[in-house]
Amino acid sequence: MKNTGTDEFPILKRNDFAPDFRWGCSTSSYQIEGAVHQDGRGESIWDRFCATPGHIRDGSSGAVACDHYHRWPEDLDIARSLGTNAYRFSIAWPRIFASGRGRVPNQKGLDFYSRLVDGMLERGLEPWVTLYHWDLPQALQDQGGWANRDTVDAFVEYTDVVSRHLGDRIKNWITHNEPWCTAFNGNFEGAHAPGLKSFKTALQVCHNVLVSHGLAIPVLRRNVPAVRVGAALSLHPLKPASDSAQDVAATVRHDGLRNRWFLDPLHGRGYPADIWAILGDNAPVVQAGDMQTIATPTDFLGVNYYFPEIVADAPGAGVMSTRVVEPGNVERTAFGWEVSPRGMITLLNRVARDYRPTEIYLTENGSTYHDVVTPDGNIEDLERRRYLQRHLLALREIVALGIPIKGYFAWSLLDNFEWAEGYLRRFGLTHVDFATQQRRLKLSGQWYGEFLRGDL
């Protein structure tokens, strides 16, 4: 389907957006790099987690992944060929400090990212770096991980080293990717590394991650001229399962932990009192000054948007007494996630209205489907292309509403290691044949390129 301007798909052009709008793709270190034993990289919590049978659906790991550690020039060439002007990636902390901290960083790890960043700049891609996209050094986990306050200090030291080495070339810094997932997927649901199942631990992790975000900001401001810093949150628009007072109240509670638990303290309002009151002795230990630290001003807010959630009251279901229910008759991706471009508008409208961030970037948005390689080697992912098109139309509406949205990063440049789902979920605009490491642009990627290059 070309962009012919039918009712179904009105004309959409890059020129509909500001010339300095950031267009990119997102990736993360553990999901694409592989080379886990190379050049002095230490063990991460994901290496350890994947080694336990049953943790990853297909029994795989990120040990090889997309072999991006060796193939990055080809991957950056693809990003350039699409016409993107920015690229979001993350740094593997265990490549910089194999055991999490120390007096001397691993020079080979720093050199790798230095080459990678130079490669981006050579190709006209503005680097957007994420310092923490979930691959904590295992050595720090052995001492309690993010639940241990010492990890906050280790993160600040790591931030200092990385920003002193790369701050001359990277202006845009994202401290953390999706603190909710770090805390709850990893420490309460046990579905992600480190695989713990404690609500109380998850809340302490959450708090320490937010404190580490705040403490990293002055370090970045000191080391990076004209730095721009923010965090990338996973946020969801929510709907009650019914009009009942119980479901409506449950939705407010769910919002309190899913969204407001991050947005409120980052914007200087402290933790939401309604949720704090429910937590009892699960509430985190907060030290004097922590809430001011978390509220340290940032330059932008990163939002990762995937799907809305429907919430019902569920007495007895954990501390929160809420339950996320399956949406009824709605369009979904292969992950079961509801496809809702409108939800993206609702969400950003709410964030802009309630928190007034000066700039918002969609730091992730994307979809997974069952891609089929045709006999002539094409991947005709019409559903992913449609998903992308419809979300970009929504993006244009978001701009028209006056919401300060300044960029969009598609998740993801490449099919990659999708955490607990292993290689069973493909999110890439580029197909990766994991047996041969061959890359092939899917139809969705071709369309993104046509849109960005102005070929439409």
Q: Name the minimum Å distance from CB 401 to ligand FCB.
A: 25
Q: Rule CB under 6 A: is residue 427 a binding residue for ligand FCB?
A: yes
Among 33, 43, 135, 178, binds ligand FCB (CB under 6 A): 178
Among 155, 419, 448, 451, binds ligand FCB (CB under 6 A): 419
- CB nearer ligand FCB, residue 31 or residue 212: 31
Residue 287's alpha-carbon distances to 184, 218, 359, in angstroms, are: 21, 19, 30
Among positions 27-66, residues that touch ligand FCB (CB under 6 A) are: 28, 31
Residue 42's alpha-carbon distances to 35, 80, 114, 116, 138, in angstroms, are: 11, 31, 19, 19, 8
Q: Rule CB under 6 A: is residue 262 a binding residue for ligand FCB?
A: no
Q: Is 178 one of the annotated active-site residues of the chain?
A: yes
Total count of residues recorded for the chain = 456
Instruction: Return the range that interacts with ligand FCB (CB under 6 A); candidates 55-63, 177-185, 245-253, 268-276.
Output: 177-185
- CB nearer ligand FCB, residue 128 or residue 419: 419
- CB nearer ligand FCB, residue 101 or residue 236: 236
Instruction: Kindly state the number of chain residues that form the binding site for ligand FCB, as judged by CB under 6 A.
Output: 12
Which of the residues 43, 178, 338, 418 is marked catalytic? 178
Among 141, 182, 234, 430, binds ligand FCB (CB under 6 A): 234
Q: Rule CB under 6 A: is residue 261 a binding residue for ligand FCB?
A: no
Q: Name the minimum Å distance from CB 124 to ligand FCB.
A: 25
- CB nearer ligand FCB, residue 106 or residue 304: 304
- CB nearer ligand FCB, residue 71 or residue 88: 88
Instruction: Return the range that interacts with ligand FCB (CB under 6 A); candidates 7-15, 175-183, 216-224, 288-296.
Output: 175-183
Query: Six-digit token pair at 435?
Result: 């047996």
CA pair distance 169, 121, nearest whole angstrom = 8
Which of the residues 338, 364, 383, 418 is marked catalytic? 364
**Is the dihedral angle over the CA atoms 339, 342, 344, 346 positive or is it negative?**
negative
Among positions 286-315, residues that touch ligand FCB (CB under 6 A) are: 304
- CB nearer ligand FCB, residue 36 or residue 241: 36
- CB nearer ligand FCB, residue 174 or residue 215: 174
Q: Rule CB under 6 A: is residue 177 a binding residue for ligand FCB?
A: yes
For residue 301, the cross-strand partners are 360
- Omega prior to 127 cis, within 30 of 0: no
CA pair distance 248, 237, nearest whole angstrom = 14
Q: Rule CB under 6 A: is residue 181 a binding residue for ligand FCB?
A: yes
Amino acid letter for position 206: C
Among positions 345-374, residues that touch ligand FCB (CB under 6 A) are: 364
Q: Name the minimum Å distance from CB 28 to ligand FCB.
A: 5
Q: Name the minimum Å distance from CB 18 to ligand FCB.
A: 26
Interface pattern 9-28 for ligand FCB (x via CB under 6 A): -------------------x
- CB nearer ligand FCB, residue 423 or residue 427: 427
Instruction: Return the range that interacts with ligand FCB (CB under 6 A); candidates 173-181, 212-220, 314-322, 442-450.
Output: 173-181
Q: Name the minimum Å distance from CB 128 to ligand FCB.
A: 14
Q: Name the minimum Å distance from CB 278 to ligand FCB.
A: 25
Q: Name the minimum Å distance from CB 416 to ligand FCB.
A: 8
Q: Name the minimum Å distance from CB 223 to ligand FCB.
A: 25
- CB nearer ligand FCB, residue 204 or residue 365: 365
Q: What is the 3-state secondary structure (H, E, C) of the chain?
A: CCCCCCCCCCCCCHHHCCCCCEEEEECCHHHHCCCCCHHHCCCEHHHHHHCCCCCCCCCCCCCCCCCHHHHHHHHHHHHHHCCCCEEEEECCHHHHCCCCCCCCCCHHHHHHHHHHHHHHHHCCCEEEEEEECCCCEHHHHCCCHHHCCHHHHHHHHHHHHHHHHHCCCCCEEEEEECHHHHHHHHHCCCCCCCCCCCHHHHHHHHHHHHHHHHHHHHHHHHHCCCCEEEEEEECCCEEECCCCHHHHHHHHHHHHHHHHHHHHHHCCCCCCHHHHHHHHHHCCCCCCCHHHHHCCCCCCEEEECCCCEEEEECCCCCCCCEEEECCCCCCECCCCCECCHHHHHHHHHHHHHHHCCCCEEEEECCCCCCCCECCCCCECCHHHHHHHHHHHHHHHHHHHCCCCEEEEEEECCECCCCHHHCCCCCCCCEEEECCCCEEEECHHHHHHHHHHHCCC
Among 55, 212, 418, 426, binds ligand FCB (CB under 6 A): 418
Catalytic residues: 178, 364
Which residues in this chain contact ligand FCB in the complex, by CB under 6 A?
28, 31, 177-178, 181, 234, 304, 364, 411, 418-419, 427
